[in-house]
Amino acid sequence: MRTVYWDYDRQTVKMIDQRKLPFEFIVAEFDDYREVARAIREMYVRGAPAIGATAAFGMALAARQSNAQTFLLMQDDLKNAGKTLETARPTAVNLSWAVARQLDVASKDEGSSVQDIRDSLLVEAQQIADDDVALNRRMGFNGAEQIAGGDTILHHCNTGALATVDWGTALGVVFAAHEQGKKIHVLVDETRPRLQGARLTAWELQQRGISFDLIADNAAGHFMRTGQVDIVLVGSDRTAANGDVANKIGTYKLAVVARENGIPFYPVVPTSTVDLSLANGDLIPIEERSQEEVLNAIDRPIAPAGITARNPAFDVTPHRYVTGIVTESGIVYPPFVKNLRKAVEQSRQGAWRDGPAL
């Protein structure tokens, strides 16, 4: 099933509550866009592509909640809903991208009735979700070109089907290589403080029967220095125009150690996650989450009472450490300023759909 989807019978948004995995499989249901924003903030759903699709469905829900009787009043309600959704998590650019796309759809034809707007926003949200699945598969098979049989892949956080609507980004590359019959092995960073690697990536790999070992985050350098890693694959929540990548905290040090040991480092990034308006990664807003996530593990205290903690959710990897960026339009290599823009333009034109059937 998909990570997030619209229930057409109940006219609600449903999503897998990823906070409960792998111990419980629960599908949460929302009929209020403000609750959808809360679900994004509290990480029922996470991963930039999944957050984008969730925001799109949240906007469709907001249109249905609105009591507006005119085109202009509906625009006001949707703009307010968009602000609520956009502030849920600031780093993932797909969130603001999806909201802007929905606002654009809603404002295109001033002759539209409020029901026309409701219908159009749901169609657009469904299109965003369906495109995410298709382009992730394309991206996965683009990236699988870099994977050889026998490779060991180091992976950070969770970038699989749970981080998207379905299939995945960096883990989508792993799934594609596995589907091609390549014998591969994955080293899975546990990914403190929320343990997305231990809880979610391990669960997804186990479900698919792919060989893996879970490792402590601090063990990654050891495995790279001793020649036990062939390639590093990560995701991205926002990629600047110059190729700087904001991803789950801990990604930067992986990239530096990979460079030191001559190991290719590839972020796997749908072009919707590329923010061409930002010249470099220093301009990317970095979300700082509650210190309780660091002071506790699986809701149990692990530190002395009364101390404080810092909890940035993401870090920025400068583009000089990036071998290439896997997108649905192909693999982008330096110079990123030129080639990332080209990939984004090609994707907007739908060029990624023209590849061989998967």
- The CATH number of residue 56's host domain is 1.20.120.420
Same domain for 175 and 106? no
Same domain for 203 and 99? no
Same domain for 207 and 310? yes
Instruction: Tell me the pLDDT tens digit for each residue of 178-216.
Output: 999 999 999 999 999 999 999 999 999 999 999 999 999
Same domain for 145 and 207? yes
Select from 136, 160, 182 the last residue of a domain.
Answer: 136
Select from 83, 103, 136 the last residue of a domain.
Answer: 136
Q: How many separate domains does the chain show?
A: 2
Same domain for 145 and 125? no
- Which domain, by its residues, includes 42? 4-136
Same domain for 342 and 317? yes
Same domain for 179 and 318? yes
Select from 94, 111, 136 the last residue of a domain.
Answer: 136
Same domain for 53 and 20? yes
Same domain for 145 and 126? no
**3-state SS record for the chain:** CCCEEEECCCCEEEEECCCCCCCCCCEEEECCHHHHHHHHHCCCCCCHHHHHHHHHHHHHHHHHHCCCCCHHHHHHHHHHHHHHHHCCCCCCHHHHHHHHHHHHHHHCCCCCCHHHHHHHHHHHHHHHHHHHHHHHHHHHHHHHHHCCCCCEEEECCCCEHHHCCCCECHHHHHHHHHHCCCCCEEEEECCCCCCHHHHHHHHHHHHHCCCEEEECHHHHHHHHHCCCCCEEEECCCEEECCCCEEEECCHHHHHHHHHHCCCCEEEECCHHHEECCCCCHHHCCCCECCCHHHHEECCEECCCCCCCCCCECEEEECHHHCCCEEECCEEECCCHHHHHHHHHHHHHCCHHHHCCCC
- The CATH number of residue 287's host domain is 3.40.50.10470
Same domain for 183 and 152? yes
Same domain for 20 and 153? no
Per-residue confidence of the chain (358 residues) as pLDDT tens digits?
A: 899 999 999 999 999 999 999 999 999 999 999 999 999 999 999 988 899 999 999 999 999 999 999 999 999 999 999 999 999 988 778 899 999 999 999 998 787 899 999 999 999 999 999 999 999 999 999 999 999 999 999 999 999 999 999 999 999 999 999 999 999 999 999 999 999 999 999 999 999 999 999 999 999 999 999 999 999 999 999 999 999 999 999 999 999 999 999 999 999 999 989 999 999 999 999 999 999 999 998 789 999 999 999 999 999 999 999 999 999 999 999 999 999 999 999 998 887 777 655 5
For residue 110, the model assigns a pLDDT of 81
For residue 352, the model assigns a pLDDT of 75
Same domain for 97 and 72? yes
- Which of the residues 237, 244, 275, 315 is marked catalytic? 237
Residue 237 bears catalytic tag? yes
Instruction: Tell me the pLDDT tens digit for each residue of 261-301.
Output: 999 999 999 998 999 999 999 999 999 999 999 999 878 99
